[in-house]
Structure 1
Amino acid sequence: MDQILYDAGDDGVAVVTLNRPEAANAQTMALLDDLDAALTRAARDEGVKVIVLRANGRHFSAGHDLKDRWPGPGEITLEWIYDAETRRYLEYALKWRNIPKPTVAAVQGKCIAAGLMLCWPCDLIVAAENAEFSDPVVHMGIGGVEYHGHTWELGARKAKEILFTGRPLSAREAEQVGMVNRVVPLGELDASALELARQIAAMPSFGLRQAKRAVNQTQDVQGFYAALQAVFDIHQTGHGNALSVSGFPILTRLDEMKQKLK
């Protein structure tokens, strides 16, 4: 079964779907590569004006599939981790953020850790009432996921609270701080996201592209891009510490938490 589904209609909207519901849409390296290919396809398709990113199943994404991503203990180096995470995590997320077309994420259920690196690069987020957003990787001795959108999405104090405690942020809380645009009943999530996307698709494509660039460039002038690069290196010190302590870059607690979602 394809891990990523792609559907582009004649309404100017392409729908890209995470399709690994049996694993709560946990992200393998192959899934991320396929997702990048689908988003690139939509970006290049002249008939597509808006992209919707959604997920099949109960949960949007449980984050990285920890069974997929690493060589074994004694075989892994910090250089390997740095190179792998630069390409598939940081660079992919930044690339998706800067797609020259509006993107809308439709999020339901759990959106954990690397799940944030799928919805945060999108321009707009529509969340179901049952959506919960969390980054509990401090449990692993790491200060947050590779794409540090936390401070920009939540504000400094709320970002610290979520990281320090590991607790999930509800859809309503996320809406209150401006991270989520709309909260809708679960049964209306897909229809609401599509309705919003079609409304946007009725606007001139060049105007949309310029409006998106204006906002993204303003954030970058304020330090967004430089901050993400710096915090990515901070993230790597967590892996380096874990390697020095245990010989392996991650602990098991986060994986245990994900097992409860299946």
Structure 2
Amino acid sequence: MTDHHSSPVTYSVRKNIAYVTLNRPEYSNAQNSAMTYALDDALIRAVNDDDVKVIVLTGAGKHFCAGHDIGTPGRDVDQSFPRRAIIHWDHVGRDGADARLARESEVYLGMCLRWREIPKPMIAKVHGACIAGGLMLAWACDFIVASDDAFFSDPVVKMGIPGVEYFAHPWVMSPRIAKEFLFTGDRFDARRALEVGLVNQVVSRDDLEDRVDAIAERIAKMPAFGLALTKKAVNQAEDLQGFRSGLDSVFGLHHLGHSHNAEIAGDSLNGVDVRGMKS
């Protein structure tokens, strides 16, 4: 079954695999809150379906995800949504850092941490752009298979902010490579991403679907509880290396950057728009 194409996220199941697709191709799958909550709905649906053994996350159109929505007509930063990731007051009606912290704790950091704990294996199938907020979605998955036309970047240092909210950079790459990635804002092509450990496998664009399907079908043969325990075991090991506390500490620096921008420039993004973010 597949949901209506107008949804910001579509969902289908085939051979015990749930395919969750970001569906704002006209905006390179930029994430607004409507997409974030639709993605959460789809992932809840997959978790609750005992026939689903593996979840594949991908994007419709030319790109996986070009990041947070900072300029489309569907940008909904001023709208309320039912909060799920954390218990906090709504950002709407709040001012300054209070509003930013409430919103980003929920829809950015909180949602990614929520999805990281899903007890079923998640594969990110990445083609085209995987930029800034798109990295967070891919990194919340268990591993990444990329096409040879994929590229990765986190250019938000241009805003005076130390990377996206889900600051997994020093764990998915070495700290030295993470500094290069962030200091330059440069794009890493698929081959460089593979070289530094940012992705698991790279295949041709034509072979991407078949490769991901084959991996997902192989994993789907494993016992579901065994997979859930193994995922938790690896996540716990990562947390013992400081992952969770590291994310929380950098989230504070992220918001210090936003607040500094608002104080100095009158804009939490330091006047950087979509065009200015292009690396």
- State the distance in 2 between where 1:180 and 1:54 align: 14
2:30 is equivalent to residue 26 of structure 1: yes
Question: What is the TM-score with the length of structure 2 in the denominator?
Answer: 0.88
Residue 78 in 1 paired to residue 97 in 2?
yes
Name the SS of the counterpart of 1:120 in structure 2: helix
Distance 2:210 2:30 in 1: 24
2:8 paired residue number: 3
2:19 matched residue in structure 1: 15
Which residue among 18, 32, 47 is the counterpart of 1:43? 47
In 1, are the aligned partners of 2:11 and 2:21 still within 8 Å (CA)? Answer: yes
Paired residues in the alignment total: 256
Deviation of residue 148 (structure 1)? 0.4
Letter in 1 for 2:8: Q
The SS at the match of 2:103 is: helix
1:140–1:254: 8 Å Cα contact kept in structure 2?
A: no
How far apart, in 1, do the equivalents of 2:271 and 2:127 lie?
A: 25
* Equivalent residue letter for 1:2: S
Q: Do the aligned residues in 2 keep the contact of 1:50 with 1:200 (CA within 8 Å)?
A: yes
Question: Helix, strand or coil for the counterpart of 1:2?
Answer: coil
Q: Deviations over 1:88-142 (max 9, x none)?
A: 0011001111100100000011111000010001001000001111000011111
Please give the per-residue CA displacement for 1:54-110, whole angstroms capped at 9, x wherever unaligned: 111111111011132545xxx841110000000000110011111001000000111
Counterpart amino acid of 1:87? E
Aligned position for 2:232 = 213
Q: CA–CA distance in 1 between the matches of 2:263 and 2:161?
A: 14
Unaligned runs of 5+ in 1: none
After superposition, where does 1:38-187 map in structure 2 within 5 Å? 38-67=42-71, 68-71=75-78, 76-187=95-206
**Which whole-Å CA distance do the structure 2 matches of 1:59 and 1:251 have between them?**
26
Call closer, same or farther: CA 1:128–1:257 in 2, change over 3 Å.
Answer: farther
Does the 8 A contact of 1:70 with 1:76 survive in 2? no
What secondary structure sits across from 2:144 in the alignment?
Answer: strand
Q: Which amino acid aligns with 2:11?
A: Y
Q: Distance in 1 between matches of 2:23 and 2:49?
A: 22
Counterpart AA for 1:150: H
3-state DSSP of counterpart to 1:197: helix
- When the two chains are superposed, the root-mean-square deviation of aligned CA atoms in Å is 1.5
In the other structure, the counterpart of 1:238 is: 257
